Chains A and B, each alone.
Chain A
């Protein structure tokens, strides 16, 4: 079973606010999945390269020029808080 401190630490890394009640719930949920995942310990992977993608992929490049300007305003307007042409965020320091 992973500890309450570990759950709190992961939540902090993931930037999730969770309540004390949820900490206990996630402790149980995450542990049951992690216990299941433990079966991978039995697999011998010595000399095996990792796969991050099902098939071979290659970089796709193009000239760095503006292709679609019409969406810019629309996308900017979706920000919850803005001022003039800028997206506004809360202060970083208290």
Chain B
């Protein structure tokens, strides 16, 4: 039995039955990381000493029959989520030597449940990207094919889970940054409802879109982790207490919507075929399938690429070389400190987005760009509300294409943005969505996206499990 191949559920069971110890599990993962990380580069930082100490503590808890289902489970954390005392770079030179001064709320919660933190994972700089190639420290590779990207921006987290270098991982999703790499790597990726998981301690990118979420090997594991990290947090004013909703469902009572606008030109024919056969499978199992319309789909990406850079340009203004992080030593006066720190500290995509955002918000363009995008956002919201009055969930492909080759799109920002065409709407309207692996074509995974109503994550878990016949 290879311990690093087990799910959270299986590992927890083995630990309780004393088949192996948390230290055994931790060492198995550390060995796997030592062997494979140089090729895949999922991790920016591996905290071997800390992990082993946490595993010993977990064993102690388990021996006293204490702890939770997550006690002793090794996890990887995206490098934009703060763990006190560990470096947190957000994939950027500007934070290369930044050591987190406190724990993010999700980290605090995971610590209380007794997990083992293996390390911090690679990402596109400040989570801006769809391939992890925008990391200042080098690209992560797709474990299914090392010449291809793992997706992004949570590419390190997805690759770590796909390659058994972590039992699960946390990521963040602003426009698809968990679901898209999950689809590209062949793992389960959950973007919870906006507000259901605290963002305190997550490096802010686009605050009305950002959401911390989970990458796991199975849907059951996703459910386990979601329960432990969700809930209202006084440190995040947008976080909410989850309404209690039922979690017993019957597939025969389910109505599944399939938006016609998601199956048009641009989708890879092989992906379309797999997604359609997944939909057919749900139908065969008794669910009602209904074609629906989300009429403003065609405008979602354009609205997103105004709102996202606008919020980013405001959030990233804080990196001014004064309070923390990199500060240019060559500067002569205060203005020069700002110019040189930002000019040298930020990579090309981050600067591109700051400029796009600044442009959209600047005098003379605000109405035509930012305000217009916010109005289109209202239309998208109405589209989804109307559709979800008729159906329980919406099924779509997670991505229009398979993982592309490293270097293929990095010089053409627009072509990179288009990879997120099926995922960005969900962030604009705040809904929960999960990507589950449904097939492999020529060794490359295909993801199915299930979008639900606000706070109905349990329905997504149910349907995900139903696909695998385990509900």
Contact = CB atoms under 8 A, between A and B. Distances in A.
B337 interface: yes
Contacts of B179: none
Given A51-B378, A93-B333, A36 B302 contact: yes
Contact of B343 (A18, A48, A50): A18
Nearest to B351: A16
Say which size band chain A's interface belongs to.
Answer: 35 or more
B299 A40 contact: yes
Contacts of A1: none
B101 A78 contact: yes
B355 A78 contact: no
B165 interface: no
A55 B243 CA distance: 14
A17 B342 contact: yes
Interface in A44-84: 45, 48-55, 57, 59-60, 62, 71, 74-75, 78-81
Nearest to A48: B375
A10 B334 contact: no
Interface string A1-35: 00000110011011111100000001001101110
B340 A17 contact: yes
A34 B413 CA distance: 12
Contacts of A91: 333-334
Interface string B64-100: 0000000000000000000000000000000000100
Nearest to A61: B237
A54 B340 contact: no
Contacts of B413: 29, 32-33
A55 B340 CA distance: 38
B contact patch SS: helix
B326 to A, nearest CB: 8
Given A30-B355, A48-B379, A94-B332, A80 B322 contact: yes
Most buried by B among A32, A48, A80: A80
B339 interface: yes
A54 B428 contact: yes
B339 A51 contact: no
B175 to A, nearest CB: 13
B381 interface: yes
A52 to B, nearest CB: 6
Contacts of A11: 355
A75 B101 contact: yes
B334 A92 contact: yes
A45 B381 contact: no
A90 B378 contact: no
Contacts of B201: none
A94 B298 CA distance: 51
Contacts of B301: 36
Given A33-B414, A48-B379, A54-B428, A14 B354 contact: yes
Nearest to A53: B208
Given A37-B369, A55-B430, A10 B321 contact: no
A15 B378 CA distance: 32
A40 B208 contact: no
A45 B333 CA distance: 46
Contacts of B313: 14
Contact of A14 (B238, B358, B376, B454): B358
Most buried by B among A13, A52, A54: A54
Contacts of B446: none
B429 interface: yes
Contact of B322 (A13, A43, A89): A89
Interface string B340-367: 1011101000011011101100100000
Given A16-B354, A87-B323, A40 B373 contact: yes
Given A14-B313, A36-B302, A91-B334, A45 B372 contact: yes
Interface of B: 98, 101-102, 194-195, 208, 234, 237-238, 296, 298-299, 301-303, 305-306, 313, 317, 320-327, 331-340, 342-344, 346, 351-352, 354-356, 358-359, 362, 369, 371-379, 381, 412-414, 417, 428-431, 454
Given A32-B412, A48-B375, A71-B101, 17 more contacts: A14-B354, A14-B355, A15-B320, A15-B335, A16-B346, A17-B340, A33-B305, A33-B356, A40-B303, A43-B299, A43-B379, A45-B372, A51-B375, A53-B238, A55-B430, A62-B234, A71-B102
Interface of A: 6-7, 10-11, 13-18, 26, 29-30, 32-34, 36-37, 39-40, 43, 45, 48-55, 57, 59-60, 62, 71, 74-75, 78-81, 87, 89-94
